[in-house]
Amino acid sequence: MSVNSINLATGVSVVTSARLHMGFFDLNGGLGRSFGSIGVSLDRPLTELSAWYGDGFSAVGPSAKRAVKVAEKQATALKLQGGMHMRLVQAIPEHAGLGSGTQMSLAVGLAMNKLYHLGLVMEDVALLTERGARSGIGLGTFAAGGVVIDGGRGAQTLIPPVIARADFPEAWRILLIFDHAESGVHGAEEIEAFRSLPEFPADSAAMLCRRVLMQALPALAEHDLETFGAAIRELQERTGDYFAPAQSGRYASPRVSAVLKCLSDENVACFGQSSWGPTGFAIFANEAEAKDFQQKLEAQFSDQATLEFMLCKGRNEGALLM
């Protein structure tokens, strides 16, 4: 479609949010499907952008270069005539383990789709921008928010399917632990990590699948944080130790690791690292408890200038496209 056939004053806005990736539960793949993962949508940090028709592709604001790269990639694949200018109000931190790349790709791709009436759906954009290679969590949270479980990849899989979705309890709160001095494994390094790691034990994969199906999900439905946390901690420990050679330990950041040890010593029910990190997380039963721990940790780790603590909620709705 040509720019000349469209009202150039029309603009599109997209708001989408970060997600936690709590871990893969079948890294063995002996049943014909690999990976499979559980994650949750957050109410912040956000990626928020507006887009208009333009000559070529350009952007201003945080993560502007990434936004332009995504737009050019999709436009090239579609042989699109025309361009798009974007203004980013805020962006999920890059390479922090919060799914910034997938959310940016979907936001930019679907903004272009709406501007140019391309008739694409979210899955089309994911394929065009090469997202959802191993996990469908980011697509699932973009679509509907909440707690999402994807079924991993089989021989014919294009994008890992979402096989379960539930609301995140309204009362629960999530404390994010950032380390701004570290960056999670990504790109070629991530690809090489998956190639070089040994086979994941089948019995461990079987146990983790059981933990997710028969412990985490029922506990979530019953708002039982202790039991939900026990399942997530086991998932974190097994997969964290498996990925340790690629990320220099169970957790990517020594400073975040120290915070998580403190939370463990305090018998916090649910904590871990999101994706490749370095961002850590802890889940609390209510806001008062979460704020109390945030204040204690900020005081205890006040000498660690690169650490930042952010309190957020689960987000039980998908991205907004206006």
Predicted local confidence at residue 6, as pLDDT = 40
Alpha-carbon gap, residue 284 to 275, rounded angstroms: 20
If pLDDT is split at 50, 70 and 90, which confidence band does 223 have? very high
Residue with tokens 């604001």: 61
Structure tokens at 256: 């975040």
Predicted local confidence at residue 9, as pLDDT = 56
Model pTM score: 0.93
- In angstroms, how far is CA 134 from the centroid of its own chain? 12
Q: What is the mean pLDDT of residues 252-267?
A: 97
> What does the CA dihedral 144, 147, 152, 158 come to, rounded to 10 degrees?
10
Predicted local confidence at residue 7, as pLDDT = 46
If pLDDT is split at 50, 70 and 90, which confidence band does 1 have? very low
Q: What is the mean pLDDT of residues 200-208?
A: 97
Alpha-carbon gap, residue 66 to 47, rounded angstroms: 12
| Dihedral pair phi/psi, residue 262, rounded to 5° | -60, -45
Number of other residues whose CB lies within 10 A of the CB of residue 53: 18
Residue 293 has pLDDT above 70, yes or no: yes
Residue 67 has pLDDT above 70, yes or no: yes
Alpha-carbon gap, residue 299 to 243, rounded angstroms: 31
If pLDDT is split at 50, 70 and 90, which confidence band does 71 have? very high
Residue 193 has pLDDT above 80, yes or no: no
Alpha-carbon gap, residue 47 to 265, rounded angstroms: 34
Contact 153, 160 (CB under 8 A): yes
* Average pLDDT over all residues of the chain: 94
> Measured between alpha carbons, how far is residue 92 from residues 2, 45, 57 in Å?
32, 5, 21
Helical packing angle, 100-116 and 137-144, nearest 10°: 50
% the chain with pLDDT above 90: 89
Structure tokens at 158: 């294009």
Contact 107, 115 (CB under 8 A): no
Predicted local confidence at residue 23, as pLDDT = 96
Provide the 8-state DSSP code for 141. Answer: H
Within 8 A by CB and 6+ apart from 30, the residues are 202, 205
Residue 184 has pLDDT above 80, yes or no: no
Length of the chain: 322
Residue 191 has pLDDT above 80, yes or no: no
Contact 281, 98 (CB under 8 A): no
HSE-CB for 79 with a 13 A CA cutoff: 0
Predicted local confidence at residue 190, as pLDDT = 78
Q: What is the DSSP string of 76-93?
A: HHHT--SEEEEEEEE-PP
Q: What is the DSSP string of 253-310?
A: -HHHHHHHHHHHHTT-SEEEE-TT-S-EEEEESSHHHHHHHHHHHHHHTTT-TTEEEE
Q: Which domains does the chain have, with CATH numbers?
A: 3-321 (3.30.230.120)
Segment 35-64, tens digit of pLDDT: 999 999 999 999 999 999 988 999 999 999
Predicted local confidence at residue 289, as pLDDT = 98
Residue 2 has pLDDT above 50, yes or no: no
% the chain with pLDDT above 70: 97
Segment 127-153, tens digit of pLDDT: 999 999 899 999 999 999 999 999 999
Segment 74-130, tens digit of pLDDT: 999 999 999 999 999 999 999 999 999 999 999 999 999 999 999 999 999 999 999
Predicted local confidence at residue 151, as pLDDT = 97
